[in-house]
């Protein structure tokens, strides 16, 4: 927004102050409104049901549709429907699942596609990248929606994705991170944590664990175990997960916390205490990376720039594991959670009539879709914690985004 007059500047400042003074509940409400009603979600045309990765506020553009985020959205909207009795969220979840089913190629999803913006090259050629992780997030999304409405088409799509991941990506121990659009080996993005097999793929076990519970086919449980066992081989004694094979001392917090999430969920779902213990060790290591003065969490062990998805991931896990952390003498956990909440709330940014969302980083100028989803859930968990709801770890992780 560019204001030329003093009156315009004053009006903008008033709007800015209004959004900065929002309560946690108001941030949740505005963020849900943004996900459902803004143009971040495509509501008509051939891509109806898809979501863009973020909105760029420098030129008000939506650079790309991201398949992984559509998977998150199905889980997020299903969870919002349950938590808020929001029928619009259930409709949105179903529309997203339809987009997934329509765009499956060789029984999996490509990374996404550019939104008519030929100058955008940050993500490379999205139409020629297929990630096992992205498809794992789609898998769990479809199964979460299936749990609500028992739509057999979603279950069959989930089975196709799972079976293709096993057939094309699983080597018996771990998942290949990425193949090209024809499901052949690709050298795109070599060296990045997201293009290498790693502990973060333990989060794919969410879908395989849940699919085993639905179908009782042992292969799905075996894959879930393998993914988590592989993650354990990447964990150091202090709890840190290795996220870069060439730099032993470099760990990115985003995949590190994915590892914790996958191990914790699978440990609870399949009653494996060793996975839960590994997740707790990883969580406590991440906790020690935090700036306790302002509640921020660095992007990596080498980059001290905060990143909102990491902060929201940490906040959720701290609340899920709250009772266990208290038992382990983490006496300042309440203060830490509150500081993360305030730090995240400071990254909320308005977007016109349809609420707003969470910035990726304080220095960035994008409202990020998945960061907003993670934050909504973190704040909702915190709200229940403060109201002293009887929260179980398993219940909170049932629709974990």
Which residue would you say has higher pLDDT here, 189 or 55? 55
Strands 112-114, 130-131: pairing is unpaired
pLDDT tens digit sequence for 95-153: 999 999 999 999 999 998 876 555 666 667 778 899 999 999 999 999 999 999 999 99
pLDDT greater at residue 138 or residue 362: 138
Parallel/antiparallel/unpaired status of strands 54-56 and 64-66: unpaired
- Give the residue-averaged pLDDT of 18-36: 87
Longest Cα separation, the chain: 68
d(CA 254, CA 309): 7
- Cβ atoms within 10 Å, residue 1: 11
Distance CA 161, CA 170 (A): 12
Query: Tokens for 331?
Result: 């006496």
pLDDT value of position 119: 64
Query: Is residue 7's pLDDT more than 70?
Result: no
CA–CA separation, 176 and 105 (whole Å) = 18
Radius of gyration of the chain (CA): 20
DSSP per-residue codes, 168-196: IIB-SSSB--EE-TTS-B--TTTTSGGGS
Give me the pLDDT at residue 10, please: 40
pLDDT band at 251 (very low <50, low <70, confident <90, very high): very high
Q: Is residue 1 scored above 70 in pLDDT?
A: no
Q: What percent of the chain has pLDDT over 70?
A: 93
Query: 339: phi > 0 → left, psi -120 to 50 → alpha, else beta; which?
Result: alpha
| pLDDT at residue 12, rounded to an integer | 36
- Distance of alpha carbon 401 from alpha carbon 380, whole angstroms: 12
Query: Is the distance from CB of 89 to CB of 149 less than 8 angstroms?
Result: no
Q: Can you name the residues that pair with 235 across neighbouring β-strands? A: 241
Residue 399: the pLDDT is 97
Cα atoms in the Cβ-side hemisphere of radius 13 Å centred on 116: 2
Give the pLDDT confidence score for residue 244 in this predicted structure.
87
Question: Tokens standing for 150?
Answer: 């028992």
What pLDDT digit, counting tens, does each position of 166-213 carry? 999 999 999 999 999 999 999 888 889 999 999 999 999 999 999 999
**In sequence order, which ranges of 288-352 are alpha helices (DSSP H)?**
308-320, 322-327, 333-345
Distance of CA 97 to the CA centre of its chain: 17
- The pLDDT value recorded for residue 120 is 63
Q: Give me 221's structure tokens.
A: 């449980």
- What percentage of the chain exceeds 90 in pLDDT? 79
Q: Please tell me the least confidently modeled range out of 29-33, 111-115, 283-287.
A: 111-115
* Rounded average pLDDT over 366-390: 95
What residues have CB less than 8 Å from 35, skipping those under 6 apart?
A: 41, 51, 73, 76, 77, 92, 357, 369, 372, 373, 376
Residue 154: is its pLDDT beyond 60? yes
Question: Which one-letter DSSP state was computed for residue 167?
Answer: I
Residue 344 confidence (pLDDT) above 80: yes
């Amino acid at each position: 927004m560019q204001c030329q007059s003093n009156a315009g500047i004053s009006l903008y400042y008033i709007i800015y102050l209004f959004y900065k003074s929002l309560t946690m509940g108001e941030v949740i409400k505005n963020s849900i409104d943004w996900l459902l009603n803004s143009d971040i979600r495509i509501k008509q045309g051939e891509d109806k049901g898809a979501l863009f990765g973020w909105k760029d506020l420098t030129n008000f553009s939506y650079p790309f549709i991201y398949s992984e985020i559509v998977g998150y959205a199905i889980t997020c909207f299903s969870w919002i429907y349950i938590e808020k009795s929001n029928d619009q969220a259930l409709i949105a979840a179903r529309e997203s699942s339809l987009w997934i089913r329509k765009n499956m190629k060789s029984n999996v999803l490509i990374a996404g596609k550019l939104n008519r913006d030929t100058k955008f090259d940050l993500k490379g050629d999205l139409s020629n990248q297929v990630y096992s992780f992205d498809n794992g997030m789609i898998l769990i999304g479809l199964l979460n929606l299936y749990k609500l409405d028992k739509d057999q088409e979603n279950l069959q799509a989930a089975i196709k994705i799972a079976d293709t991941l096993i057939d094309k990506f699983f080597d018996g121990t771990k998942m290949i991170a990425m193949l090209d659009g024809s499901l052949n080996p690709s050298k795109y993005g070599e060296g990045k944590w997201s293009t290498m097999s790693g502990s973060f793929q333990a989060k794919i076990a969410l879908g395989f664990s849940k699919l085993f519970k639905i179908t009782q086919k042992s292969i799905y449980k075996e894959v879930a175990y393998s993914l988590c066992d592989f993650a354990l081989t990447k964990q150091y004694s202090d709890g840190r997960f290795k996220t870069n094979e060439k730099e032993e001392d470099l760990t990115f917090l985003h995949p590190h916390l994915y590892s914790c999430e996958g191990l914790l969920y699978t440990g609870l779902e399949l009653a494996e205490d060793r996975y839960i213990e590994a997740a707790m060790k990883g969580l406590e290591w991440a906790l020690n990376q935090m700036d306790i003065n302002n509640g921020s969490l660095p992007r990596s062990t080498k980059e001290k720039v905060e990143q909102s998805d990491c902060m929201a991931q940490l906040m959720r896990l701290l609340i899920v594991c709250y009772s266990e952390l208290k038992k382990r003498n983490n006496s300042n956990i309440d203060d830490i959670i509150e500081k993360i909440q305030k730090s995240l709330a400071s990254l909320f940014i308005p977007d016109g009539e349809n609420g707003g969302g969470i910035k990726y980083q304080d220095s960035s100028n994008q409202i990020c879709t998945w960061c907003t989803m993670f934050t909504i859930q973190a704040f909702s968990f915190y709200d229940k914690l403060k109201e002293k709801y009887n929260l179980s770890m398993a219940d909170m992780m049932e629709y974990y985004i």
